[in-house]
Each structure stands twice: as structure tokens, then as C-alpha cells.
């Protein structure tokens, strides 16, 4: 159920509408046997538009949209009547969606705000009717413009989760349990790797009615940057997180080595990831005494802040919220 309800990538063939042809017509009625040109312009072909919708969180509703074919503009007609424009197609997508052209790999659109609209494919312009070409020396132009063709191509829509804090760590590091304790989210929790197959979002209620968003992301494994495990499908979701929370369990064999592997996977995927703020949370710390905590502290990198937490006892969770809020607030000021 979890896998089927969250769709973060779809591929769809899109074609915008062709412009209507201009009319090549001359005025003829019972009072006028040889009137001048009165051909109207063709209508514009329909656009294909992406629109942000904050109520959506997945691309699931577009899963079966294999072809999006927009309406053509209507041809112009006599009496200088302009043809009707094609009816635009609006595709509503969740915030954080980008559109990529499959052939070129170029990012063509990015939706970040509710109600934001971006024309993904423009409809062709309508052709001009022959009445537009009448001049003093050419009183009866016998030609009109055809409508311009629309655009077409295969577009890939990708969703990158929008969250303030992204939790990263190896499978079964305790991220889902932590999310369930500091937010109202109810992710699937079990004692085996890759319990979380899709990103889980939760809002952390902070002091004075303030809040921030945390994402529990699928666990990294070594080689994720090359596509192993959940690979790129996971890594792209952390590109927009302001702060990365590295969750490393207290019973890890080597805490620094685990952090180094996680950091290396981020760097290989996108070196800009290293410009984000990092915080290390040692989870499951209820099994540690002060001596063991002191030993772990010696393993951790000196330039990265850290905190010991326990989702079972709740120790360190208030301090964790304070630290994350402080880091996010600092980020916003820069």
C-alpha cells in the first residue's frame, strides 16, 4: 500500500495544440458581388500548463496519463471572425515537482508555490487571415497564413520532497521511530532494513506556535550514488532540505565510518549537498552509559554538532528540536 500510494516520477508524452489556419475569404452577399478580403485569424492552439497544488503530495493521480494531447485552435472564418483558441490543459502537481525533457535532459519547469503556473508546452499561434495582408497596391490578397504547429515531446515529471530537515542514515537506524516521536506522523516501523520505502513527512510543533517540516527518507546504503538500493530515487529528495540530520544508532560498529560513508554518498551524488548544515543524532542512546557516550564522542568529527537521543525514553528530543530550530533560523537569515 505504501509503495502504490507514493509516486514520485512519471513519464508522459505531451503535445500542445496546433494553431488554427487563417481564412482566405472575400466578402460576398446579395449587395456585394466583389467585396474585399474578410478572412479572420485562426485561434491559438492550447497550452499544456503545470500548476502547483499544496494539497497534493504525490504524482499518483497522473500515473495513467500516458498521453496529454491538447486541443487545436479553430480556423478563422468569414466576416473577420477569429477562430476560438484551444482549451488549455492544466496539470496540477505537488509542490517540489520539476519537469525534464527526456531527450535533452534539460529541466524545463519547477513548481515551488501553491497556484504557481508554468507553461510546459506552448500552443501554436493562429495564422493571420487574408484581411491582414490588404494594402493599397494589393486590394485582394489571395492568401492567408497556416497555423503554427504545436510542440511535442516526452516529459519526465519528478517530485523532490519539500522539507526543512531531511533525516539520512543507514536502514534500521531509527529514523522512522524518531519521526513518530517528534511529529504526528505515523510511519511504518519494524525491525528490518528498508522499512521506509518512500519519504514520510511530519510537522514538528515548536514553541509559540512555530513549526518546521521533517522528512524521514529511505535509508542509504553504500553505493547509493551509483544507484544501488533505492539509489537516486532517494537521494534527489534531500536536495531541497536546509538541514540534514544524520541518524546513527548507538550500537553501530564504527560511528565515524558510518557518518563518512553517508557523507561520501551525498558528495558523489551532488557535491553541493556538502554546503548544507549537518547535525548528527546518536539514536538508541538509552542503552549507553556515560563512559560509552564519552567513547562515541571521541569517534565523531569535531566540526559537526551532535546530540544523543532516545526515541524510547524521549531523552534528548527537546534539545534536538531546539538545535534544529536554531540551525533553520540561522539558515533563513543568511
Q: Give the residue extent of every domain in the chain.
A: 1-159, 165-333
pTM score, whole prediction: 0.70
Phi, psi of 48 (to 5 degrees): -110, 120
pLDDT of residue 234: 61
Query: Are the C-beta atoms of residues 310 and 286 closer than 8 Å to each other?
Result: yes
pLDDT of residue 179: 85
pLDDT of residue 63: 84
- Taking the C-alpha atoms of residue 334 and residue 326, their distance in angstroms, rounded to an integer, is 13
pLDDT of residue 76: 95
Spatial neighbors of 130 by CB under 8 A, at least 6 apart, are 22, 23, 24, 25, 26, 37, 39, 141, 142, 143, 144
pLDDT of residue 156: 94
- Taking the C-alpha atoms of residue 49 and residue 200, their distance in angstroms, rounded to an integer, is 28
Q: Which residues of the chain have pLDDT under 50?
A: 1-4, 187-196, 223-231, 331-334
pLDDT of residue 333: 47
With respect to CATH, is domain 165-333 assigned 3.40.50.300?
A: yes
pLDDT of residue 273: 82
CATH number of 1-159: 2.70.210.12
pLDDT of residue 155: 96
pLDDT of residue 230: 46
pLDDT of residue 318: 92
Amino acid at each position: 500500500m505504501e509503495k502504490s500510494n507514493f509516486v514520485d516520477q512519471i513519464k508522459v508524452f505531451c503535445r500542445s495544440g496546433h494553431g488554427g489556419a487563417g481564412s482566405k475569404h472575400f466578402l460576398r452577399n446579395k449587395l456585394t458581388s466583389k467585396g474585399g478580403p474578410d478572412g479572420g485569424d485562426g485561434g491559438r492552439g492550447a497550452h499544456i500548463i503545470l500548476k502547483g497544488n499544496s494539497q497534493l503530495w504525490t504524482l499518483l493521480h497522473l500515473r495513467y496519463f500516458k498521453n496529454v494531447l491538447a486541443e487545436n485552435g479553430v480556423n478563422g472564418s468569414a466576416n473577420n471572425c477569429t477562430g476560438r483558441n484551444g482549451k488549455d490543459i492544466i496539470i496540477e502537481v505537488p509542490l517540489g515537482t520539476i519537469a525534464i525533457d527526456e531527450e535533452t535532459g534539460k529541466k524545463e519547469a519547477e513548481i515551488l508555490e501553491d497556484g504557481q503556473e508554468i507553461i510546459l508546452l506552448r500552443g501554436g499561434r493562429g495564422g493571420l487571415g487574408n484581411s491582414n495582408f490588404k494594402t493599397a497596391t494589393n486590394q485582394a490578397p489571395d492568401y492567408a497564413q497556416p497555423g503554427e504547429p504545436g510542440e511535442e515531446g516526452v516529459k519526465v515529471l519528478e517530485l523532490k520532497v519539500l522539507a526543512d530537515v531531511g533525516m539520512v542514515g543507514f536502514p534500521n537506524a531509527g529514523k522512522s521511530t524518531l519521526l513518530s516521536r517528534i511529529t504526528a506522523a505515523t510511519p511504518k516501523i519494524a525491525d528490518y532494513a528498508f522499512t521506509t520505502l518512500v519519504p514520510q513527512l511530519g510537522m514538528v510543533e515548536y514553541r509559540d506556535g512555530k513549526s518546521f517540516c521533517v522528512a524521514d527518507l529511505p535509508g542509504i546504503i553504500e553505493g547509493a550514488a551509483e544507484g544501488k538500493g533505492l539509489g537516486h530515487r532517494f537521494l534527489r529528495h534531500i536536495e531541497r532540505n536546509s538541514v540534514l540530520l544524520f541518524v546513527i544508532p548507538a550500537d553501530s560498529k564504527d560511528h565515524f565510518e558510518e557518518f563518512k560513508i553517508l557523507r561520501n554518498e551525498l558528495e558523489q551524488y551532488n557535491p553541493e549537498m556538502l554546503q548544507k548544515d549537518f547535525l548528527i543524532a546518536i539514536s538508541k542512546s538509552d542503552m549507553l552509559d556515560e563512559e560509552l557516550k564519552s567513547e562515541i564522542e571521541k569517534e565523531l568529527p569535531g566540526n559537526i554538532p551532535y546530540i544523543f537521543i532516545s526515541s524510547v525514553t524521549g531523552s534528548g528530543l527537546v534539545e534536538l528540536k531546539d538545535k534544529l530550530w536554531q540551525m533553520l533560523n540561522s539558515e533563513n537569515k543568511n
